[in-house]
Amino acid sequence: MFTFMLWILLLFLCWPLALLALVLYPIVWILMIPFRIIGITMNGLFAFLTALIMLPGRILHGPGAK
């Protein structure tokens, strides 16, 4: 909602820039998709490495460990 209000304000102040932003937003969103996929992959990789490093401690702690 806040972004929409900022865009409305920009539309009143400088309508060519607001229309340019409206046209370029989908293009920028599409260009950002590979970076989002890389981010999701890196998050999963770091979670896996953390679990792998913590595994010996979890095993040695015994049953009932969280």
Q: Could you tell me if 7 and 17 are in contact, meaning their C-beta atoms sit under 8 angstroms apart? A: no
Residue whose structure tokens are 């998050």: 43
pTM of the predicted protein model:
0.61
Distance, CA of 46 to CA of 58 (rounded, Å): 18
- Give pLDDT, residue 66: 61
Tell me the residue length of the chain: 66
Reading the block at residue 59, the tokens are 């095993």
Distance, CA of 43 to CA of 38 (rounded, Å): 9
- Give pLDDT, residue 34: 96
Q: What is the pLDDT along the chain (66 residues), one digit of tens a residue?
A: 998 999 899 999 999 999 999 999 999 999 999 999 999 999 999 999 999 999 988 888 877 656
Angular region, 65: left φ>0, alpha ψ -120 to 50, beta rest? beta
- Give pLDDT, residue 60: 87
